[in-house]
Amino acid sequence: MRISRVEIVTVSASHATVFWRANAPADITASCRAASDGNVADAVVSSVNGRHFRAVFSGLEPDTAYAFQLALNGRILHSGEFRTLRPAPGDFIFRFATVNDIHIGEKIYGLIFLPGLNLFPVTPGLKLDIDGEPFWKYTNETAINELNKLDLDFVIVKGDVVTDHTEENIRTAKEMLDTLRHPYRVLRGNHDRAASPKTDFFLKAFPAATELQSFERKGRGFILIDDIHPDTGNTRFSPRTIDLFKSEMKKMSDIPAFIFAHNPPLRKFERAPDNRISNFLDIIDEHPAVAGVFCGHTHGNKVAIRKSRGKQVPFVETAAPMDYPGGFNIYDVHTDGYVQTCVRPFCAKSARWYEKCEKAYYGLAASGLFGDISDRNFVRPVE
């Protein structure tokens, strides 16, 4: 018996989730032992396709180092370790989730085109339809099914709901998102751009997805900002968007603010003055309590900390459910901070697809998109 691709996807203050693959069906067990007191916890192990496994450890102690083992008939197949998150600061208030880059209608995954040379991709593409279902359908439906089992106040969809801006794709995307049993809000991504205002099917389907959306929830501010250049899809803020953003942030000056955009706004090659990224960052720096800036677009997990004016603001990129490493994110908001945890959808079709598309980009997807545990799961204080 051989196992491979052991990945610790989720770690919270009380549980952890580990995935792996095996070369044959087997009754593999998983257990972990606390380094502090030696207490042992067994995981609930499930498998699909006879090869893809998930172990869920529950009831763990917060801020504790654990050693875990995967075993078959007493023989240890793999050993590893993780540390649970420390408790979130303050009392729990509410929970929400985010998902991004669902790419409805995508036919081939993993193509990269050089700017201005859209006829010739520089990477080979991948495709895996199972039982007539395209990969974007079963991966996203599995994610939505898992989101629907959670107690959430709302869901934020951080852009790229389609791959090609067509009326059919956007109608399909809305039909899929409408199966969420939670209220949801949608951002425009670079793939959601319209050829002209007359053919803006995205805005017709999601009329609230204007250049800036703003709301408050139980003493926390939320802003969804459109940072997509309408012609190129690169990061850009229009003058009107910047004015709206500055005004809304002033209204939220006495509460923590969560900011959401599709494109990550820290990429230096996009810092041309006309893109007004510096204006956006200046407004972030002026606010006394920005919880974070949360983006999609890159399909990977990453956290960059911007240090300015004595503050440290996380700029968070999160993976997509429709490709490796797969995931959506849960946020537990507390009075003095919040927790982000990453959840990977788990079903037979999705597991097969993730195994295939981890080899995308000449094999770089597996090393470049998964990120560290602290990129996927972390606790942040907010004053």
Domain spans of the chain, in order of start: 3-83, 92-381
State how far the Cα of 320 lies from the Cα of 103, in Å rounded to an integer.
9
Residue 125: count of CB within 10 angstroms of its CB: 14
Count H helices and E strands in the chain, helices first: 9, 20
> DSSP labels for 180-228?
-SS-EEE---GGG--SSGGG-HHHHH-TT-SSEEEEEETTEEEEEE--B
- For 3-83, CATH gives 2.60.40.10
Q: Identify the H or E element spanning 40.
A: strand 40-42
Task: Please name the amino acid found at residue 66.
Answer: Y
Contacts by 115-124, CB closer than 8 A, 24 or more apart: 123/360, 123/361, 123/362
Task: Please name the amino acid found at residue 235.
Answer: T
Task: Please name the amino acid found at residue 46.
Answer: S
Residue 381: what are its φ and ψ, rounded to 5°?
-75, 150
CATH topology of domain 92-381: Purple Acid Phosphatase; chain A, domain 2 (3.60.21)
pLDDT recorded at residue 118: 62
Structure tokens belonging to residue 263? 């494109």
Angle formed by the axes of helices 277-286 and 239-251, nearest 10°: 10
Q: What is the pLDDT along the chain (383 residues), one digit of tens a residue?
A: 899 999 999 999 999 999 999 999 999 999 999 988 888 999 999 999 999 999 999 999 999 999 999 999 999 999 999 999 999 999 999 999 999 999 999 998 888 776 655 666 777 889 999 989 999 999 999 999 999 999 999 999 999 999 999 999 999 999 999 999 999 999 999 999 998 888 999 999 999 999 999 999 999 999 999 999 999 999 999 999 999 999 999 999 999 999 999 999 998 878 888 899 999 999 999 999 999 999 999 999 999 999 988 889 999 999 999 999 999 999 999 999 999 999 999 999 999 999 999 998 888 898 899 999 999 999 999 97
pLDDT recorded at residue 92: 97
Q: How many residues does the chain have?
A: 383
State how far the Cα of 181 lies from the Cα of 13, in Å rounded to an integer.
27
